[in-house]
Amino acid sequence: MLKAIQNLGSVAYYYRLKPPHAAKTNAFVSTSAKPLSCSSPITRPTNPFMFLTRKTRSLGPVRAHSTPSESKMDGTSSSSSGSARKINFCQWCGGQTKHDIPDGEEKMRAICTLCEKISYQNPKMVVGCLIEHDNKVLLCKRNIQPSHGLWTLPAGYLEIGESAAEGAIRETWEEARAQVEVMSPFAQLDIPRIGQTYIIFLAKLKKPHFSPGPESLECRLFSIDDLPLDSLAFSSMVVTLKLVRALF
Ligand SMILES: [Zn+2]
């Protein structure tokens, strides 16, 4: 059911080759450097938004790149090259680190001068829900920085001990006070420059209730034609919602 994998920091787009009902394995193909358009090999969905039967529309310009807001989503920032932030102290023992390329590796690493362990840095995973209800999509207006006052799907950082779907459900509760059932993965997006990868799940409300949580000013259902594409918090949300408009 995964509809798209997209790399926001480069030019690779991936789409599922077969409709969801036709294949049990996930098969993807890269479509080279072309931006998404009607001619892209997007497989039209057979179900999840079946209420929306409109003709597939152009995505328009979707080659978004990471925004300052995204790079500061957790209050930190990373270098423009996508390289790791400088780590000055060992995450294991607190000792001072030196920066060197270890034997057998190719990248500069932070190596502890005391215990000699390497402090690796890995991308962070952001998980969220694309919630359909009454032919509309639920969005939250952010009550926190970055991007205060702008709209987003309920989403946030996956925490240790959670599955991706559990994290998306938790974030939805925190931001929209909505209890949801995850139906399937919808899209996976990478922003390697800032070390983030997104998984957005298609979900539905268990009960037709939602209200803004502490991190939201407002929660509202938007029709596909009325999505606030000019007032979205992150480029990842722009891409995801343009994908929604194009597919459905
Ligand atoms: Zn150490």
Predicted confidence (pLDDT) per residue in 138-166, tens digit: 999 999 999 999 999 999 999 999 999 99
Average pLDDT for residues 52-78, to the nearest whole number?
A: 47
Using the mean position of ligand 1's atoms as its centre, give its distance from the Cα of residue 88 in Å: 11
Is 97 inside any structural domain? yes
Average pLDDT for residues 204-220, to the nearest whole number?
A: 97
Residues 66 and 159 in one domain: yes
Residues 114 and 37 in one domain: no
Is 83 inside any structural domain? no
Residues 115 and 34 in one domain: no
Q: Model's pTM, two decimal places?
A: 0.72
Residues 134 and 70 in one domain: yes
Residues 231 and 131 in one domain: yes
For residues 215 and 143, the answer to whether their CB atoms sit within 8 Å is: yes
Using the mean position of ligand 1's atoms as its centre, give its distance from the Cα of residue 97 in Å: 8
Using the mean position of ligand 1's atoms as its centre, give its distance from the Cα of residue 100 in Å: 15
In this structure, the number of other CB atoms found within 10 A of the CB of residue 10 comes to: 14
Q: What percent of the chain has pLDDT over 70?
A: 66
- Distance of alpha carbon 122 from alpha carbon 136, whole angstroms: 35
Is 207 inside any structural domain? yes
Q: 177 pairs with which residues across the strands?
A: none
Element (H, E) at 169: helix 164-176
Average pLDDT for residues 113-127, to the nearest whole number?
A: 95
Using the mean position of ligand 1's atoms as its centre, give its distance from the Cα of residue 107 in Å: 19
- Name the average pLDDT for the chain: 77
Residues 68 and 96 in one domain: no
Using the mean position of ligand 1's atoms as its centre, give its distance from the Cα of residue 103 in Å: 18
Residue 108 belongs to domain spanning = 89-120
Residues 142 and 42 in one domain: yes
pLDDT band at 247 (very low <50, low <70, confident <90, very high): confident
In this structure, the number of other CB atoms found within 10 A of the CB of residue 72 comes to: 15
Residues 214 and 94 in one domain: no
Q: Which range, of 38-42, 119-123, 190-194, averages the lowest pLDDT?
A: 38-42
Residues 112 and 130 in one domain: no
Q: Which range, of 25-29, 188-192, 220-224, averages the lowest pLDDT?
A: 25-29
| Residue in 219, 198, 164 with CA at minimum distance from that of residue 64 | 198
Max Cα distance, the chain (Å): 62
Is 168 inside any structural domain? yes
Q: How many domains does the chain have?
A: 2
- For residue 130, report the phi and psi dihedrals to the nearest 5 degrees: -100, 105
For residues 168 and 162, the answer to whether their CB atoms sit within 8 Å is: no
Using the mean position of ligand 1's atoms as its centre, give its distance from the Cα of residue 60 in Å: 49
Residues 38 and 147 in one domain: yes
| Residue in 80, 238, 241, 242 with CA at minimum distance from that of residue 147 | 238
Using the mean position of ligand 1's atoms as its centre, give its distance from the Cα of residue 101 in Å: 16
- pLDDT, residue 248, reads 76
Write the CATH number for 115.
Answer: 2.20.70.10
